[in-house]
Amino acid sequence: MTYTSISTVYSYVCSMLSPSVFFKDRIPGSKNIMRVAGRYLRRHLGHSTHSWRKVMRFAVLVLVLANPVLFHPSLALGQANPNDWDLLIRSGTVIDGSGGPAFQADVAIQGDRIVAVSEASLDPDRASHVIDATGMVVSPGFVDLHAHLDPLLRLPSSESHVRQGVTTALGGPDGGGPWPFEAHLEAVEKVSVGMNVGFLVGHNTVRRTVMGLENRAPTPPELDRMKGMVAKAMEEGAWGISTGLKYLPGAFSELEEVIALAEVAGREGGFYTSHLREEGLGLLDGVGEALEIGKRAQLPIVLTHHKVVGQPMWGASTRTLAMVDSAREAGTDAMIDQYPYTASYTGIGILIPAWAMAGGDAALLARMNDRTLADSILDGIAFNIINDRGGNDLRRVQFALVGWDRTLEGKTLHDWALREGLPSTPETGARLVIEAVRRGGASAIFHAMSEEDVERIMAHPFTMIASDGRLTQPGEGHPHPRWYGTFPRVLGHYARDKKIISMVEAVRKMTALPAERLGLNMRGQIQKGWFADIVVFNPVIVEDQATFEQPHQYPIGIDWVIINGQITVEESSFRDVRAGRVLRRHLN
Ligand SMILES: [Zn+2]
């Protein structure tokens, strides 16, 4: 029995016993007594396990107590009850996530739910806590479809994500989901987390468990074992399957294997998300493969962190988006997610051909002692500088962490070449990359995407915003700024300043759209009865602060973050309340 029906029973009893109470709506204060009574009933009798007799006895008791009060006008019964709502967000501009126009409204929260969204202003005296959101946007909490949550047990508060406005994040991308699946979910539940989290089952994880790093197709029993693992994770609450076909051992798998596993996830209602086999010269084939998997395995797909790497391919997003559109028209439920930067970030060794890296750095350096091999390796690196992550300009490869020469951090391959008195050419770049490996390696930022592609992909109606960020904290390494700034950067830089998308559209891409892709229950929109996952941000100042040089910066303008009704960011200060939940697909 619900609170409403208990109230109805109480009203009915009142009307039977006391005619004056029948006109309760005209008697100041009687509504509040109803409310208090209802709350008492709910608290002490529970939602469904109480007996009717208890309800009746209690109703009569309340009535007896309330009657003299009701007839005593000197008692100030007209005063509102501050316990009606735990929280009231007043006078904000609500962007509800659905893509509909913004509107002025008050939003009331009780427990973990939104209980009122009212364009007429609500009485602040009825709330225990009031947030004045004048001039602010009240938005659903952001849903991050691509999050690297591997540090979650060490950083359970998830501050670097929550401070961006993220209230739900999906871990296990790029083929790297946790295993054993259920044990991981339980461990996460045990530490209590700062935001809601869900997980994907990872193809690379499953393949490595069954076949190690072997470069071959699975035998039928091996494929059956992998299918069994995917099915088990789906039963345990996975939201779908991720692949990382650029990484090992996913790179060794062929289409049929991936389709067979995706089918299992699809049957259980999951979706498929893929780090494509190639994002540079082979991009169109990579997109085509993902679309074919969606079509043949009959499940929804996401092209994750969709981008166009390398100058020769710049502009190819017109073709990849057209491929997505035509697949959608033909019935494949394809979507995209994206981080809002023109640079990727990884070890500088990514410029070296894979064959030359077999066996690791020592083997690479040994090969460099062979004149013929050395020429092939240098040619291969120069090729990648021209055609892939090098962006065909040494100024586009920027050092991030350089343990053996901190003065190079923030500088580019071009700067290094000039310092050594060398011409700034791909051939010089190739020699310097080998030199960097010889000295101990370095991480680098590859400015190898074009702004036009980033903007074109962002503007597509089925592109969602996702960080591809790993949980971090200040002082820990030299991360990509997306780990701190993804969502505020889209709101501030791309929506407000560059007007690539509207603010309403930006919010939709961060909330309702990814929530729908996941199949989240009652999250991702500001709606009465839905979970109170809410961000209150200042649309005038919201902005990322993290840069490639100074990445450890929290954003500004994300003033309030509420997760399951709990204030987790309060006036831009983080509160370690751990209001997050582990979300399982079939139970959410
Ligand atoms: Zn990836």
Q: How far apart are CA 109 and CA 87, in angstroms?
A: 5
- What protein residues have CB closer than 5 angstroms to ion ligand 1? 174, 275
Alpha carbon of 247 to ligand 1 centroid (Å)? 9
Same domain, yes or no: 402 and 530 = no
Q: Where are the alpha helices (DSSP H) in 280-370?
A: 283-297, 317-329, 354-357, 361-367
Distance 245 CA to ligand 1 centre (A): 9
Instruction: State whether 441 and 480 are in the same domain.
Output: no
Q: How far is the CA of 420 from the centre of ligand 1 (A)?
A: 34
**How remote is the CA of residue 275 from the centroid of ligand 1, in Å?**
5
Given a cut of 60, whether residue 7 has pLDDT beyond it is no
> Does 479 share its domain with 336?
yes
How many angstroms does the Cα of residue 386 sit away from the middle of ligand 1? Answer: 22
Confidence tier at 418 by pLDDT (50, 70, 90): very high
Residue whose tokens read 């060490």 = 154
User: What is the CA(439)–ligand 1 centre distance, in A?
Assistant: 27
C-alpha 351 – ligand 1 centre gap (Å): 17
- Domain shared by 312 and 382, yes or no: no
Verify that 376 and 472 share a domain, yes or no.
no
148 and 57, same structural domain?
no
How far apart are the CA of 553 and the centre of ligand 1, in A? Answer: 23
> Ligand 1 centre and the CA of 175: distance in Å?
9
Distance in Å, CA 389 to ligand 1 centroid: 14
pLDDT in tens, 145-165: 999 999 999 999 999 999 999
Predicted local distance difference test score (pLDDT) of residue 400:
85
* Distance from the alpha carbon of residue 424 to the mean position of ligand 1, in angstroms: 30
Residue 51 has a pLDDT of 54
- Mean pLDDT of the 561-584 span: 98
Q: Give residue 372's domain range.
A: 346-446
Q: Are 299 and 270 in contact (CB under 8 A)?
A: yes
Judge residue 78's burial from the number of C-beta atoms within 10 Å of its C-beta, 0-12 exposed, 13-18 middle, 19 or more buried. Answer: exposed
Q: 174 alpha carbon to ligand 1 midpoint, in Å?
A: 5
Domain count for the chain, please give it.
3
Residue 101 lies in a domain: no
Arithmetic mean of pLDDT, 266-283: 94
538: pLDDT strictly greater than 80 = yes
Rounded distance from Cα 524 to ligand 1 centre (Å): 24
Cα of 426 vs centre of ligand 1, distance in Å, is 26
Residue 244 Cα, ligand 1 centroid: separation in angstroms? 7
Domain boundary among 411, 446, 481: 446
Co-location of 405 and 495 in the same domain: no
pLDDT at 343 over 70: yes
| Residue 298 belongs to a domain | yes
Encode pLDDT of 285-336 as tens digits: 999 999 999 999 999 999 999 999 998 999 999 999 999 999 999 999 999 9
515 & 465 share domain: yes
pLDDT grade, residue 269 (50/70/90)? very high
Which of the listed residues 431, 446, 461 is the one where a domain comes to its end?
A: 446
CATH code, 191? 3.20.20.140
506 C-alpha to center of ligand 1: Å?
22
Separation of CA 1 and ligand 1 centre (Å):
48
pLDDT of residue 358: 77
> 173 CA distance to ligand 1 centroid (A)?
7
Which of the listed residues 52, 77, 102 is the one where a domain comes to its end?
77
Report yes or no on 231 lying in a domain. Answer: yes
Cα–ligand 1 centroid distance for 305 (angstroms): 7
Distance 277 CA to ligand 1 centre (A): 10
Residue 367's CB is within 10 A of a number of other CB atoms, namely: 18
Clarify whether residues 303 and 434 are in a common domain: no
pTM of the model: 0.82
Helix axis angle, 203-211 to 220-235, nearest 10°: 140
Q: Do 310 and 231 share a structural domain?
A: yes
Q: Within a domain: residue 544?
A: yes
487 and 582 part of one domain? yes
Q: CA dist 219 to 208, 211, 222, 224, Å?
A: 14, 10, 5, 9
Q: Tell me the two tokens of residue 209.
A: 């468990």
- Cα–Cα distance, 11 to 271 (Å, whole number): 48
**Percentage above 90 pLDDT, the chain:** 77
The reply to whether 328 and 403 lie within a common domain is no
pLDDT at 35 over 60: no
